[in-house]
Structure 1
Amino acid sequence: MENYFRKCRLLPAMTLLGGLALASCVNSDYDFNEVDATMGFGGEGLELPGSSTDTIKLADVLDLGDDDCVKVRPNGDYVFEQVGDNVEPAQPEIAPISVTQRQSVSYDIDINVEPATRSAGDARAVTVVLSADGDMQSFEYDGDKPAEVVGLDYAETDANLSFSLHFPAGLSSVVASLDEISIQMPSFMELSDVSANIGADGSWSIDGSRIVFSNITTSRDLTVSARVSRLRFGVSDELGSLGIEGDKIVLDGRVHVSMNSVATVSGGSIEGLTASSDFAIDDMQITSVTGRFDPEIDLDNLGDVEITGVPDFLTDGNVRVDLYNPQILLTLNSDLNMGGFVGGTLTSWKDGQPIASVTVPEMAVRAGGMTEMCICRNGEGIEDYDVVQVVSELSTLIETIPDRITFEGTARADRNQTCEFELGHRYTVQPAYRVEAPIAFAENAQIVYKDTIDEWHEDIEDFELSDNSYITFTANIENRVPAYLTLSAYAIDVDGQRMGDDEIKVEVSNTVIASADGETSSETPLTIRVSQNDGRALSRLDGLVFDVTASASDGGANPVEGMTLNSEKHFLIARDIKIKLVGTLIGDFN
């Protein structure tokens, strides 16, 4: 704005006019010490010819430093930008689950022998059917359920399982091998990595929790090892169940053996056969689960933005930064496999006291990646974000430019979403946010630009205005800025102190009309009148202080909203500038 006023210098122009008149009327041979050198210029009206200023862009008016919070984008738009401080991430974690043995009991298995046929060639040879059907083991395990676990579907384990089936003595002498033995675990257990000593001709197959052995030698015990790779919650059958009871994980089960074999025996007793067994499952350390969870996500602090580098035109007490669509841009980078929600309270602070606060409703956060959220005053034209959350009161945070803006957050996981969770693993949820507010006025916006034109005293100390005299500045103002401009001014003396209206009075006729769309100009006639009310006030004058108030409306009427101020596209031109003296300008050169 300084360029504008210096291109339209008012009183210096009058001083120049007086100086030219003096130079043309006074002979250089005169000795001013010997004559009364008091002279007057003016009368009914002395006027300088009309002229115009160059195009005065907003870039010429709003001087911004590199560290100011108001930036100019490459397209020329002004935007208020501040980046939040680094915030410690939340690191949700659920402790591993240990499921330990509470009880385990082994049982003997009776082997039934039923004759089938007698061999025709050998009266002693008999074909028999050997069968067994019974439980070889029962067990109970339990463990503490972490409070963060809502429900479980699966649990991955790495528990070793082993058992031995001891065949009765003497069986191998009459029956060399058995056709089939089936070992059935509870259906909530899934087995893998099975190995067994079943002899060279033996084989085995596995289906979930059931292992079937074929052609098993009886010359040695059947020894089996396996891994319990998965537990399935909510699954139960006649052999057992696995579930959550209160704050406990409880499982109980039985291991069932069935045997079926046809053999021809020609000697020896096979009556009263009983097999025994040993069975063991390690305590289960569960480190990976699938289900629903509610881990604590400690994000009380989503960020703290310190407002620095505030330009002068936003610091006046009459400034009201009512912006059309300020935005808080929040990002959450999470490696959790579940979605969640985040919300909170934004508070602006001035001199250590809260001055405004708004509530941000919960917003959905995606699983496993970055979620970009835009919290804005209105959603018009807001794209390319995962979440757009409208908070209509958002602009109140910066109506008075604060010292800082805090974001107290609340975050929670989506406890209804099924996902996989690594127990004992520390996940990371990292927030970051920044304030971004295009300088586009809303209805009540008002910014104030101040400028001072001074150092006139040496030029005008020998002048004064006669009674009832005044100077007027008139111009037609072309305004391409989408804001109403109201100009006021007052005089200052050589000490920089304000001069009262009873000394020098400055009056401005009216408000410069806003451009309605920022693309076409408005035209407004403007008159500034400077009058002297104290006979020697002009000699004490050193300059003028100008206040230019840019607002969205003219006293609340005809608001111009939603157009971002642009450093290059928006400008002012003062045309047909005229400076007129009405009355007498008196120069005292004694």
Structure 2
Amino acid sequence: MAIGAMFGMQGCVDHGYDLSQDIDMTMEFGGNLTLPPSSVAPYSMKKIMNLPDDGSSSIRPDGALYGLSAGDYVLVQSGSGSSTTFSVDEVVITNLSAAGANQSIPVNFTVPAGVTLPTFGILIGGNATSSGLVQKIDAIENTVHMSESGVNRDLVSLNRIGTDIRGVFNMWVGMNNSRIDAKIKRGFRVSFDPSLSLEVVSANVDCAFEGSDLVFNADATVSSLDLVIRITGMDCSRLPSGQGLVNHNFIFDGKVTTTGEIEVSGVSVPAGDVSFNINTSFSLSSAVIKSIEGVVNPTVTIDNTSFAINDIPDFLNDGSSNLDIDNPQIYLTVDNSSEVSADINVTLRSVSNEKGLLASVNVGGIRVVPGHNVICISRTGQGNRNDITGNVTSSDLTNLISTIPDYIEVADCQVAVVQQPVEFVLGRDYSFTTANEVIAPLAFGPALTFTYSDKEEGWDEDLEDYNFKRVIISAQTTNTIPLSMTPSVRAIFKDDPNGDRSRDIRVNVTGNIAAGTLSSPSQSSFTVELVSEVANLAGLDGIEYTFAADSPIVGQPLNESQALTISKLSVTIAGGIIVDLND
């Protein structure tokens, strides 16, 4: 401290003379003694923060990474994430039995006398193209029934379903209960319910689906028509009332309708009455609902997570401080592999290892959509990262770190799946993978209060020979830190570890330090008066000074280049001084 150097008068004593044996070298000077002004090295924010060099602190001068200025201080800490899987089981339809799945339709002809090897045409619900004897019958219908009770309650409603339903259609023509060859004419149709999507697995004729109708592309002569088909989907919106998903029961009733022309020839029959039978059957071997387009409500759980806040400067971690952070931000990152959206409510808790729970903030309305989500929970509703997909405003969030905790918990996550139609694959494991991060630019709101203390010691080395009762220290300051500061001072005496002598010193401080910025520094002044109420100030070894910060420039971050500079520091010893020059 420059105050020691200001007492350079000790250098005037010639120690070549041994005056201490006979002469009292104690000298008293009256009046006020003002020492020449000096200055103190700037108190930069970098010095005040005094962050560890290993980067272990959660506070970093990395503002440029978050849309702030280079050197701006930001509290940044990532937390442990979690991963959870959820699914909705496939629906296996077990009741596939039905009446009317098999049909045997008689067809009767009268053969005129003298006709040999006639051609018989059997027209099923359509227009004939065959020459010769033609008999018309109604379209043949086979019923289809599928049902399953107690369907998974995670399925709320179905618009469409993707299925793996295997079916076999068989048709043959009989005469006298024996199968005979028959020509199935081009254009023959086997029609399924229009709500169904189907594909041919195997067939012994040339055919293809047109919509839900299986259409024959060429004439085909067979003793038995064998078709294996697969129902790949169903449009539940086209089903009549009472079918589809009803009260968690699945029901489907449909028909397989056969139309077209069959021709029988080359059969030797006598004159008179001839009877044929058209035999059709449709059976299902298995039925599984594999996917849906509709509303689902699976159970999604997110585990509690936490993240530690490390190596915070003591002056920010003082339990009496109120760090009214202007816009703290908690980032909830969720990778959602499903097609469902969800609304999440969470409880954020700040916890001290010593004091336990410090604050608890409930946050709702967090909407997570399919894919990658970066949700910023903040005081203002705006965050500093450039990859934000959604903002959530929580005006109470600043309470979470008004006192810096040891760790922050993300707990009691409640997930409600949005009840809107989606495409959802049943039986597949979907995942919610979460990660958490707190980002809090060290810019403050109007309720900020914290203190920073330091000491200037070692004065007694220079002042041990001087006794005085009153000292006035005055200073002018230049401040680029965006905080108003009120100084206070406590005297420090040599060999006074308990501060007993300090309690006898009256300290008067006038003036304070106005907030400033790098672009607009503030100029202020203050005065400190130390007065001994009992003896004198002999042995004064320094001062402990405390700056109580408040009234910040709202929203202006702390920056490592900001500083408080004390200039024109002058010391006045008032009311006289006694100098002891005795060795």
Query: Structure 1-normalised TM-score?
Result: 0.85
Give the Cα–Cα distance (whole angstroms) in 2 for the partners of residues 195 and 130 of structure 1: 30
Q: Which amino acid aligns with 2:487?
A: L
- What residue number does 2:94 align with? 100
1:80 paired to 2:75 = yes
Query: Paired residue for 1:6?
Result: none
| In structure 1, distance between residues paired with 2:439 and 2:231 | 55
Deviations 1:158-177 (A, max 9, x none): 33211321210379999752
Which runs of structure 2 are paired with 1:390-429 in the superposition (5 Å)?
390-408=393-411, 409-416=413-420, 418-429=421-432
SS of the residue 1:101 aligns to: coil
3-state SS in 2 of match to 1:565: coil
What CA deviation, in whole Å up to 9, does each residue of 1:531-571 have, x standing for no partner?
223325532x4432221112126xxxxxx311111111x22
Alignment partner of 2:133 out of 122, 128, 136: 128
Go from structure 1 to structure 2 and tell me whether the alpha carbon gap of 1:136 and 1:109 turns closer, same or farther (over 3 Å shift).
farther
1:258-278 deviations in Å (ceiling 9; x for gaps): 242467788526733212244
Aligned pair 1:535/2:540, yes or no? no
Shift in Å, 1:58: 2.0
Query: In 2, are the aligned partners of 1:464 and 1:535 still within 8 Å (CA)?
Result: no
Question: Which residue of 2 is the match for residue 4 of structure 1?
Answer: none
SS in 1 for 2:524: strand
Letter in 2 for 1:46: L
Structure 1 residues 121, 139: closer, same or farther in 2, change over 3 A? closer
Kept in 1: contact 2:77–2:439 (CA 8 A):
yes
Kindly indicate whether residue 157 of structure 2 is the aligned counterpart of residue 157 of structure 1. Answer: no
The match for 2:198 among 191, 195, 220 is 191
- Do the aligned partners of residues 139 and 525 (structure 1) sit closer, same or farther apart at CA in structure 2, a change above 3 Å counting? closer
Q: Secondary structure at the match of 1:268?
A: coil
Match of 1:450, SS state, is strand
Pair 176,501 (structure 1): closer, same or farther in 2 beyond 3 Å = closer
Classify the secondary structure of the residue corresponding to 1:288: strand
SS in 1 for 2:31: strand
For residue 12 of structure 2, the aligned residue among 21, 24, 45 is 24
1:339 aligns with 2:331: no
Structure 1 residues 281 and 512, CA gap change in structure 2 (3 angstroms): same
Describe the SS at the equivalent of 2:478. Answer: strand
Supply the AA of the counterpart residue of 2:102: Y
**Partners in 2 of 1:464 and 1:174 — Cα distance?**
135
Distance 1:457 1:130, change over 3 A: farther
Moved more, 527-536 or 304-313: 527-536
> What is the identity, as a one-letter code, of the residue corresponding to 2:12?
S
Question: Which residue is equivalent to 1:139?
Answer: 145
**Structure 2 partner of 1:565:** 558
32, 37, 47: which one aligns with 2:34:
47
Q: Per-residue CA shift, 1:70-94, capped at 9, x if unaligned?
A: 211250101122222x232121111
SS of 2:200's equivalent in the other structure is: strand
Cα contact 2:147–2:249 (8 A) shared by 1: no
| Superposed displacement of residue 54, structure 1 | 5.2
Task: Tell me the CA shift for residue 486 of structure 1.
Answer: 1.0
1:186 partner SS: coil
Give, in whole Å, the separation in 1 of the partners of 2:160 and 2:17.
113
* Paired residues of 1:97 and 1:143 also in contact (CA < 8 A): no
Distance 2:502 2:404 in 1: 32
CA distance in 2, matches of 1:124, 1:378: 92
Instruction: Give the C-alpha shift of residue 445 in structure 1.
Output: 0.4
CA contact (8 A) 1:332 1:430 kept: yes
Structure 1 residues 378-425: Cα deviation after superposition (integer angstroms, max 9, x where no partner) = 136757421111211211111122222222222222221x22212121
Q: Is the 8 A contact 2:471 2:529 kept in 1?
A: yes
- SS at 2:85's partner residue? coil
Which position in structure 1 is the counterpart of 2:47? 60
Contact 1:321 1:447 in 2 (8 A): yes
The 2-side partners of 1:57 and 1:352 are apart by 32
Q: Which residue of 2 aligns with 1:585?
A: 577
Q: Distance in 2 between matches of 1:169 and 1:528?
A: 124
Give the Cα–Cα distance (whole angstroms) in 2 for the partners of residues 314 and 375 of structure 1. 23
Q: CA deviation at 1:232?
A: 2.4
Deviates more, 1:133-142 or 1:149-158: 133-142
User: How far 1:233 moved relative to its partner?
Assistant: 1.6
In structure 1, list runs of 5 or more residues that go unmatched: 1-8, 554-559
Distance 1:419 1:183 in 2: 33
- Conserved in 1, the CA contact under 8 Å of 2:336 and 2:431? yes
Aligned residues between the structures? 554
User: Which amino acid letter does the alignment assign opposite residue 23 of structure 2?
Assistant: V
- Is contact 2:325-2:443 (8 Å) kept? yes
Deviations 1:417-464 (A, max 9, x none): x22212121111111111111111210102211112234445444432
User: 2:123: which partner in 1?
Assistant: none
Note if contact 2:345-2:363 (Cα within 8 Å) is conserved in structure 1.
yes
Q: Report the TM-score when normalising by structure 2.
A: 0.86
> How far off its partner does 1:136 sit?
3.4
- Secondary structure of residue in 2 paired with 1:22: helix
Within 2, Cα distance between the matches of 1:352 and 1:236?
63
Deviation at 1:283, TM superposition (A): 2.1
Deviation readout 1:228-265 (Å, 9 max, x if unpaired):
2112223237xx98401212112222322224246778
Q: Is 1:523 the counterpart of 2:523 in the alignment?
A: yes
1:432 corresponds to which of 430, 435, 439: 435
CA distance in 2, matches of 1:397, 1:530: 40
Secondary structure of 2:398's counterpart equals helix
Q: What do you get for the CA RMSD once the two structures are aligned?
A: 3.1
SS at match of 2:32: strand
Report the Cα distance in structure 2 between the residues aligned to 1:243 and 1:375, rounded to whole angstroms.
Answer: 42
